Amino acid sequence: MFTSIEAAARAIRKGEISAAELTAAALDRVAGVDGKIRALAYVDSEGARQAAQRLDEELRRGVDRGPLHGIPVVLKDNIETQGVPTTNGSRVFAGRSSRYDATVWRRLREAGAVLVGKAGMNEVAWGADTPPTGNPWDTERTPGVSSGGSGAAVAAGLCYAALGTDTGGSVRIPGACCGVVGLKPTYGRVSRYGVLPLTWSLDHVGPLARRVKDAAVVLQAIAGSDDRDPTSASNAVPEFQATIDDGVEGLRIGLNEEYFFERLEPEVESTVRRAIEHLETLGARVLPVRIPHVRFGLAAVLAIELASASSAHDTYLRDPDARAKYTDPVRLLLEAGRFVFAADYLKAQRLRRLLIEGARSAFRSVDILVTPTLPLVAWKKGEELVRIQGHEEHVLHACLRYTCPFNLMGLPAVTVPCGFSNGLPIGLQIAGKPFGEATILRVAQAYEASTAWHTRTPITEG
């Protein structure tokens, strides 16, 4: 289960393994390991077995759906999946079964992916904790924020790839915490139809995988315009695999030292700086850039996210029975959104335009931006406050600081593992221009192909 999608797909076509056997291996892994890390909220054993058998039958008839044919995947529990529970990680939605497929799942299913199950998530994708999931590298620690179950499932080898959603960093944060690749595409690149909303203008859907090329394969399958999502972009989707091995020779890397290298754990900083030096040895050039006012991004994200989440859950907050089913911390976050003033919300949206213009200007002299994904490694489960370089802050603020600006700006960003601190993974974040996923994947692939961090696997033998 720790090979690449490419290798698994090749083995299926050579007849070395069937989709049914691969799916059985994934389900065995779930049975052996998931009791420890609890990454999955729902396992669809029977559905997965039947789908895999159908896909084997198709291959025998010469029908080949492409690189994802017969590949086991996991979806975050806020992605509608017909006939399978979609509970948004909350008792409010318990027992709810989807009546239709989200576009991302329909596209993955049509590409031949096999659904192993739904990943555990933060309640309604809000807050800093992902109970009860443990990080496969240390089960006492968090797997990251709301797509933590997706990150843990991938890292522990329960599937080849997973989908998560990213409103302030929730694909990249579990990617970094769990030592896997996590990609947030450009806003509009991937349809959000059938994905339960948290913050309409910040929500993105993206893949988590153990290899950069695996993430690219999944992105290829799910990207592209969708009439059912009003925010979906009609821009052409390039063939990501066509340029992914082109390397970084001559590529200009922007470093925004101010803000993105402030207040972070020393070992995270030194590791990320080594990774950047490594990219230089591969032929990239590092140039200083500055996105003015980026430090106000967190306040803007909080204002927009608090207000939007409160509005998205308004119906349930007004229903006393439903309201009582939220856990206290999440209900408080949702209620707090009612106290965000319209003027503050609009100021946050004005700041957003300023950040977009600042980034646009910065990107005139560089091709990508590189930052640490997080200022810290995976924190202890349930920890509310963290201390970094003598400064105490809420863990939610700490973990969003470096990722959320890219949600505000809608820019694509990917995290790749670039080292470890006390046995816990560290992520390197690579961000690009709008619809520049091919470039950031190229950089991520060049880094991965010349380092070995991605070959480490967590100790999760069942």
Partner 1 sequence: MNAADLRSIAQLSGLEVAKEDIDPLVAFLDEYLVELRALRELRLPDDLEPVTGFAPEPWE
Check if the beta carbon of residue 33 is closer than 8 Å to that of residue 461: yes
Query: What pairing do the DSSP bridges indicate for beta strands 424-431 and 114-119?
Result: unpaired
Which one of residues 24, 25, 286, 336 is an interface residue with partner 1 (CB under 8 A)?
336
CA nearest neighbour of 410 among 220, 158, 199 = 199
Which one of residues 211, 352, 381, 442 is an interface residue with partner 1 (CB under 8 A)?
352
* Cα atoms in the Cβ-side hemisphere of radius 13 Å centred on 182: 41
Question: What is the smallest separation between the CB atom of 441 and partner 1, expressed in angstroms?
Answer: 16
360 interacts with partner 1 by CB under 8 A: yes
- Residue where the block lists tokens 């309201």: 323
**Could you tell me the two tokens for 389?**
């370089």
Query: CA angle, 432 as apex, 261 and 367 as ends, to 5°?
Result: 90
From the list 62-70, 154-162, 229-237, 282-290, the region that binds partner 1 by CB under 8 A is: 229-237
Sequence-distant (≥ 6) Cβ neighbours of residue 6 within 8 angstroms: 67, 211, 213, 214, 217
- Is 254 or 458 the residue whose CB approaches partner 1 more closely? 254
CA nearest neighbour of 329 among 129, 176, 52 = 129
Question: What is the smallest separation between the CB atom of 456 and partner 1, expressed in angstroms?
Answer: 35
349 interacts with partner 1 by CB under 8 A: yes
Rounded (to 5) percent helix, strand, coil in the chain: 45, 20, 40
225 interacts with partner 1 by CB under 8 A: no
Question: What is the smallest separation between the CB atom of 232 and partner 1, expressed in angstroms?
Answer: 9
118 interacts with partner 1 by CB under 8 A: no
Which one of residues 46, 60, 315, 328 is an interface residue with partner 1 (CB under 8 A)?
328
Which one of residues 188, 254, 425, 458 is an interface residue with partner 1 (CB under 8 A)?
188
Question: What is the smallest separation between the CB atom of 22 and partner 1, expressed in angstroms?
Answer: 37
Distances (CA, A) of 428 to 3, 178, 200, 330, 331: 22, 13, 27, 30, 33
350 interacts with partner 1 by CB under 8 A: yes
Sequence-distant (≥ 6) Cβ neighbours of residue 281 within 8 angstroms: none
Does residue 230 have a cis peptide bond before it, meaning omega lies within 30 degrees of 0?
A: no
Which one of residues 42, 316, 435, 453 is an interface residue with partner 1 (CB under 8 A)?
435
Q: Total residues contacting partner 1 (rule CB under 8 A)?
A: 43
308 interacts with partner 1 by CB under 8 A: no
Question: What is the smallest separation between the CB atom of 352 and partner 1, expressed in angstroms?
Answer: 5
Check if the beta carbon of residue 213 is closer than 8 Å to that of residue 411: no
Check if the beta carbon of residue 86 is closer than 8 Å to that of residue 80: yes
228 interacts with partner 1 by CB under 8 A: no
3 interacts with partner 1 by CB under 8 A: no
380 interacts with partner 1 by CB under 8 A: no
Strand segments (E) across 79-219: 114-119, 161-166, 181-184, 204-209
- Residue where the block lists tokens 């944060």: 173
201 interacts with partner 1 by CB under 8 A: yes
Just list the catalytic residues: 76, 146, 170
456 interacts with partner 1 by CB under 8 A: no
Which one of residues 1, 233, 368, 444 is an interface residue with partner 1 (CB under 8 A)?
233
431 interacts with partner 1 by CB under 8 A: no
274 interacts with partner 1 by CB under 8 A: no
The residue ranges that bind partner 1 (CB under 8 A) are 186-188, 201, 231, 233, 235, 293, 296, 298-300, 302-303, 306, 328, 331-333, 335-336, 338-339, 344, 346-354, 356, 360, 363, 394, 397, 410-411, 433-435
